[in-house]
Amino acid sequence: MKEMSLPKDFLWGGAVAAHQVEGGWDQGGKGVSIADVLTGGAHGVSRVITDGVQPGNHYPNHQAVEFYARYKEDVALFAEMGFKCFRTSIAWTRIFPNGDEHEPNEAGLQFYDDLFDELLKYGIEPVITLSHFEMPYHLVKAYGGWANRQVVDFFVRFSDVVMTRYQHKVKYWMTFNEINNQRNWQYPLFGYCCSGVVFTEHANPEQLMYQVMHHQFVASAKVVKRGREINPAFQIGCMIAMVPIYPFSCHPDDVLLAQTAMHQRYVFSDVQMRGAWPAYALKEWAQKGYQIVMHPDDAQTLREGCCDYIGFSYYMSAAVHAQASGVEDPITGFDGVVPNPHVKASDWGWQIDPVGLRYVLNDLYERYEKPLFIVENGFGAIDKPNADGTIEDDYRIDYLRAHIEEMKKAVTLDGVALMGYTPWGCLDCVSFTTGQYNKRYGFIHVDKHDDGSGTFARSKKKSFAWYQQVIASNGAVL
């Protein structure tokens, strides 16, 4: 069998988001973001959304892992691993502290100039998400978040400013991180983080969710259009959380339930990649009597603002059984989810399924025939240091190796066009869903713990050297 080589320019790297690593929540003129009012939780203990920053609460994102102060040390470690790219986000509140100002905050702009310069010094391409669960809190309090169409203009202004400023430093962009999480509108954290809306507090939550989605789709399309004017070489992607939903069996009812469930995911990439709401969504609205307010030129805006590539996260798969219908799964948000007896799960109940990655790569590529980018994948685990402080995270290496093997098959055997691979949380960071430090993904350990202890010192886990040789061999040595 021939060597299964990945393209020479394959973008190996790692991913984080501003609010999960930076800290410095009130430094450099930064405003309060929605992540700044989220308390720390645990597996089975929800994070609480507080009314502003309330004394006495633990807000892990305020300090996160101090990347804001220590980024040079971290970037040097990324370079040592051989990163070709690094995915992070720009905290909107560093640039527009309240979100509705007309003039940006220069100190915030300068921070990202410095960060990008540091990355480029080592030949590391920045891959930038414009909105990763960290919109200005003021836009939620004063405008109602993305339920208000005015937020479209604020987001376009923010995006315009940063795409213009960094046009010679950043080529790869994404508009909204895991935009489809809010499809799971029953769970406050998801709607809140995607769009600043707690859907369950509204009379018709599902209709409102579609309205919010429409606003974000229009915003995304406008940003894509504007980005192409600023620099035609930009590559601007969408970003979805890709959890494939398998039918539990070949019973036609299971197959149909899985297909219907996947519409809830594809509707996001369909609009952003094809430029129009799909027929199944329009029919759903008609059946449910939903009225989604659209402006006359929105259809054209969506058509003209299709994304260049599909960025996606992949952590797990799920299975649905028609007989279990009526119960929604708290992790995936889908109806009729049952455990898949053929795969194992992490300590947080995320079902580990490397073959599922090959499946979704094929599925997405066949559906859109556009380049794909795996911008998150990884294994959240509790790392237990040895007496000398070293961490032998073989479980993480095993997880990543198995997924990279399947990724290689999708590229070399199936012909999928894949731009790169950036495992999540390359540097240990604050968990999004639980707000924990102890749910770790990194190659780089950060000495910080949920009991408040720790020095924020960085150290290399066993997976650091492993990933280094993966990159050096372009995926040949796993």
82, 99, 336, 380: residue in contact with ligand BG6 (rule CB under 6 A): 380
CB of 276 to ligand BG6, least distance (A): 26
With 0-12 / 13-18 / 19 or more C-beta atoms within 10 angstroms meaning exposed / middle / buried, residue 53 is middle
CB of 374 to ligand BG6, least distance (A): 12
433 contacts ligand BG6 (rule: CB under 6 A): yes
Contact call for residue 376 and ligand BG6 (CB under 6 A): yes
Total binding residues toward ligand BG6, as defined by CB under 6 A: 14
Of 176, 36, 175, 30, whose CA–CA distance to 109 is shortest?
Answer: 30
127 in Cβ contact with 116 (< 8 Å): no
> Are 225 and 308 a contacting pair, CB within 8 Å?
no
Give dist(CA 40, CA 452) in Å, integer: 11
Residue 320 and residue 254 in contact, taking contact as beta carbons nearer than 8 Å: yes
In terms of DSSP bridges, do strands 444-448 and 454-460 run parallel, antiparallel, or are they unpaired? antiparallel
Q: What are phi and psi of 23, to 5 degrees?
A: 65, -150
From 376, 392, 405, 406, the catalytic residue: 376
Q: How far is the CB of 439 from ligand BG6 (least distance, A)?
A: 5
227 vs 160: CA distance, rounded Å: 7
Output the smallest distance, CB 375 to ligand BG6, in A.
9
Rule CB under 6 A: say whether 424 interacts with ligand BG6: yes
> Which residue's C-beta sits nearest to ligand BG6?
433
User: Which of 178, 308, 329, 428 touches ligand BG6 by CB under 6 A?
Assistant: 178
Shortest distance, CB of residue 187 to ligand BG6, whole angstroms? 12
Q: How far apart are CA 224 and CA 246, in angstroms?
A: 32
Q: Rule CB under 6 A: is residue 448 a binding residue for ligand BG6?
A: no
8 Å CB contact between 195 and 258: no
Q: Give least dist CB 429 to ligand BG6, A.
A: 7
Contact between 21 and 115 (Cβ < 8 Å): no
Residue 431 within binding range of ligand BG6, rule CB under 6 A: yes
Give the one residue of 17, 85, 163, 360 binding ligand BG6; rule: CB under 6 A: 17
Q: Please say if 376 is a catalytic residue.
A: yes
Scanning 37-45, 62-70, 99-107, 426-434 for contacts with ligand BG6 by CB under 6 A, the matching segment is 426-434
Select the span of 316-324, 381-389, 427-435, 444-452 touching ligand BG6 (CB under 6 A). Answer: 427-435
Q: Smallest Cα–Cα separation from 222: which of 117, 323, 318, 295?
A: 295
Using the rule CB under 6 A, is 177 a contact of ligand BG6? yes
Binding mask 304-343 for ligand BG6 (x = CB under 6 A): ---------x------------------------------
Piece of 84-92, 353-361, 428-436, 469-477 that binds ligand BG6 (CB under 6 A):
428-436
Among 84, 87, 183, 439, binds ligand BG6 (CB under 6 A): 439
The residues, any chain, with a CB within 8 Å of residue 350's CB and separated by 6 or more, are 315, 316, 331, 380
Q: Which is nearer to ligand BG6, 322 or 426 (CB)?
A: 426
Q: What sections of 245-346 are H helices per DSSP?
A: 252-274, 279-288, 298-304
Residues 6+ apart with CB under 8 A from 374: 312, 313, 314, 357, 361, 407, 418, 420, 421, 422
Site for ligand BG6 in 239-258 (CB under 6 A): 241
Residue 432 interacting with ligand BG6 (CB under 6 A): yes
Residue 358 or 439 having the CB closest to ligand BG6 = 439
Q: Report which of 190, 197, 193 is spatially closest to residue 212, judged by C-alpha positions.
A: 197
By CB under 6 A, name the binding residues for ligand BG6.
17, 20, 177-178, 241, 313, 376, 380, 424, 431-434, 439
Q: Write out the catalytic residue numbers.
A: 376
